[in-house]
Structure 1
Amino acid sequence: MCGISLKSFCFRSEENVYFLCKKLCTSGVADAGGSDLFVVFISNENKQIPLWHQKASKRADGIVLWDYHVVCIQKRREGDTPHLVWDLDSSLPFPSPLTSYVSETIRPSFQLFSEYQRFFRIVHAPIFLRCFASDRRHMKDSVGNWTVEPPVYEPIVAEDGAVHNLNEYNEIRAPDNTINANLSNEVFTQRLGVVIDVGQLEEFFSQIP
């Protein structure tokens, strides 16, 4: 279990992961510039994705049907150490090796109807920390009232002044590409990263330079 304090992380997974990435960088757990960190949005066109071992579940297997979910994946830094998944909502060890997280939480061998297929938008953390913005409008109803109590800290504003672009990250459709050198290089330059399917996830991280 990692010794990083989680007390400042509250509410939606995209904001939680934003601050988690900053904490990993400043604590020395990750590279100071976040070069080994990747923010991963998990969703699909129907906004229905099953994940297991989630703290919010009331079931023994921990399954939750999220509209979208966000985690941080840390690329291995040296030697035979595994890629790590930092999921603040998971009941698995924190962090978990990518291979075990995929098998236990994503369960690609579990047969799902097509509307529940999971896709992954992978964004390099340094780009995400500069470009992501949320004014929390998704936490309000149609007349502007909060549906839940918002976090106490100020909304996240992007470096370019954008105040809300969450929908650009969590709107995810099935990818029309395969893993290749260009795709694993594009993640370092594209504001919205790249999108892959569940069968490509582990291979993708093995090919990142």
Structure 2
Amino acid sequence: MEFLQLPPRETLLYASCYCEENIYKLIECHINPASLKHYTVIFLSNSSKCIPVFSQKIQRSPINPVVWDYHVILAYHPNHSLEDLLRQSKSHGGLEEQTSVSTTTKSYIYDLDTTIQTFPCPFPTYFAQTFSPPPSSSFEDPLDRMFLQMALSKDVYRRYFRLVSASDYLDHFKSGRDHMKDKDGTWKADPPLWDLIVGAKADQDSFEDYINFEGCESRTEVIEDEKEYLGVIVGEKRLWEVFGNGIPPDLELLDIMARTEREEKVSEEIPTTNNSTTVPEATMP
């Protein structure tokens, strides 16, 4: 089976600096409602609102990350629901051996701000190239990669992830875009051309709730009991356990493998037609 054939990435609805709305529109316009259980909206942030992210269009240098206050992407997991993945990963969370790339859970990431060419991107590739510096060979001095990793290992830069079912996101997301205005009302970035988004069940602005990561560092998993539609907050290791299966691999090794994979193998496993990606064994959304 194949992915739903999306229009070329460049023609999807997009507004710079409004990733939360870009993802909403991708789901609303292109995902079959019957397949929503196979999609998860992922908010990236932390209580410091400082998350380093690589392979982003806005990067000035490929070896230095963008530091976002938050970012939003979409995960596609054709074989399981989010609930299944969370339960399954908990039961296998104690794996001591690394899981090879070829046996990881089939999950893919839609990120409209990434420079990674494959769209959607297999989760292991996205994980390696987005949350880890480029391989040592990309640096003038290989030690610079180690120093960069040390700098980014500070708690203030630790990434956390809010996992929200796509159906809940469509129903409950609402944003007045106030966070994109200066005190005098000037836009920090031009607003999208589409109308303000108001989910069918949204009775108040919920955007600030989605990017509220206060206290996430003090617990390994934060479940929003009072507002279930806000999903669950997990750390980076847990994110891999959910969408990648097992413990995180050596990121530099995984990155090198992803970047040096032969073109023949890529074209065989992920044939592309009209700039849209087809992945074997995936369920048609």
Q: Do these two structures clear the TM 0.5 threshold for a shared fold by scoring above it?
A: yes
1:4 aligns to 2:7 (yes or no): yes
Question: Do the aligned residues in 2 keep the contact of 1:156 with 1:163 (CA within 8 Å)?
Answer: no
Q: 1:82 aligns with which of 94, 106, 131?
A: 106
By relative contact order (CA 8 Å, sep 6+), the higher-ranking structure is 2
1:152 Cα deviation after fit: 1.2
Larger Rg belongs to? 2
Structure 1 residue runs without a partner (length 5+):
none
Structure 1 match to 2:129: 104
Distance in 2 between the 1:134 and 1:103 partners? 31
Q: 1:151 aligns with which of 173, 180, 192?
A: 192
1:33 Cα deviation after fit: 4.0
Question: Do the aligned residues in 2 keep the contact of 1:35 with 1:126 (CA within 8 Å)?
Answer: yes
Counterpart amino acid of residue 230 in structure 2: L
Identical pairs, percent? 30
Q: 1:131 aligns with which of 160, 172, 180?
A: 172
1:3 Cα deviation after fit: 4.5
Instruction: Return closer, same or farther for 1:3/1:132 CA change in 2, 3 Å cut-off.
Output: closer
1:99 Cα deviation after fit: 1.2
Q: Deviations over 1:63-110 (max 9, x none)?
A: 211111000011133898720011110111211111111111112994
**Residue aligned with 1:34, SS:** helix
Structure 1 match to 2:283: none
Point out the more displaced range, 39-48 or 2-11.
Answer: 2-11
TM-score in terms of structure 1 length = 0.82
Q: 1:63 aligns with which of 36, 56, 65?
A: 65
1:200 aligns to 2:238 (yes or no): yes
Structure 2 match to 1:122: 163
Q: Deviations over 1:33-64 (max 9, x none)?
A: 41100000000111110011101111023621
Question: Do the aligned residues in 2 keep the contact of 1:84 with 1:96 (CA within 8 Å)?
Answer: yes
Distance in 1 between the 2:104 and 2:217 partners? 32
Question: Do the aligned residues in 2 keep the contact of 1:134 with 1:155 (CA within 8 Å)?
Answer: yes
Point out the more displaced range, 87-96 or 101-110.
Answer: 101-110
1:140 Cα deviation after fit: 1.0
Distance in 2 between the 1:163 and 1:91 partners? 34
1:150 Cα deviation after fit: 1.1
Q: 1:191 aligns with which of 205, 229, 232?
A: 229
Instruction: Return closer, same or farther for 1:161/1:198 CA change in 2, 3 Å cut-off.
Output: closer
**Residue aligned with 1:174, SS:** helix
Structure 2 match to 1:91: 115
Q: Deviations over 1:121-177 (max 9, x none)?
A: 000000010000011111111132323221111000122343521110011132614
